[in-house]
């Protein structure tokens, strides 16, 4: 067991060093290119093929009825199930799905975690 004052030299050594963290949420850092955040759907481009639902490993995408796509279906994503792997965006044949850099996804109700 170390003597009671063993941490004092370490504390004095690091007292005047540059800080290693940011004061979140007051300071934010820029996310890197290719960051996979919140899901975004371009409904005008979506053809309703369902490929995104088939390739989703966490079963976060469900196809629902709509009159805005050619096939009459559109994807709805549950962000509380998503693992942000980007398989849906990579497999979309018309690039209707993109992952944004938005990462603050907390919500008080589960219904607010649906992206349509």
Walk along the chain (116 residues) and give the pLDDT tens digit of each residue: 567 778 888 888 888 888 888 898 899 888 999 899 999 999 889 999 999 999 999 999 999 998 877 788 999 999 999 999 999 999 999 999 999 999 888 889 988 888 88
Domain membership of residue 71 (yes or no) is: yes
Domain membership of residue 2 (yes or no) is: no
Domain membership of residue 53 (yes or no) is: yes
**CATH assignment at residue 54:** 3.30.70.3270
Query: What is the extent of the structural domain holding 75?
Result: 31-115
The answer to whether the pTM exceeds 0.85 is: no
Spell out where 6-60 has E strands.
39-41
Query: How many structural domains comprise the chain?
Result: 1
Distance CA 94, CA 66 (A): 18
Confidence at residue 12, expressed as pLDDT on a 0 to 100 scale? 87
Confidence at residue 2, expressed as pLDDT on a 0 to 100 scale? 64
Domain membership of residue 97 (yes or no) is: yes
Structure tokens at 79: 């962000």
């Amino acid at each position: 067991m170390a003597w009671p004052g063993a941490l004092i030299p370490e504390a004095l050594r690091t007292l005047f060093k540059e800080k290693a963290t940011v004061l979140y949420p007051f300071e934010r850092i820029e996310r890197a290119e290719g960051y996979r955040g919140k899901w975004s759907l371009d409904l005008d481009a979506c053809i309703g093929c369902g490929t995104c639902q088939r390739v989703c490993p966490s079963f976060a995408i469900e196809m629902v009825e709509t009159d805005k796509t050619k096939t009459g279906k559109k994807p709805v994503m549950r962000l509380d199930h998503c693992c942000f792997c980007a398989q849906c965006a990579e497999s979309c044949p018309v690039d209707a799905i993109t992952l944004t850099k938005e990462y603050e996804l907390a919500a008080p109700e589960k219904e607010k975690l649906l992206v349509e």
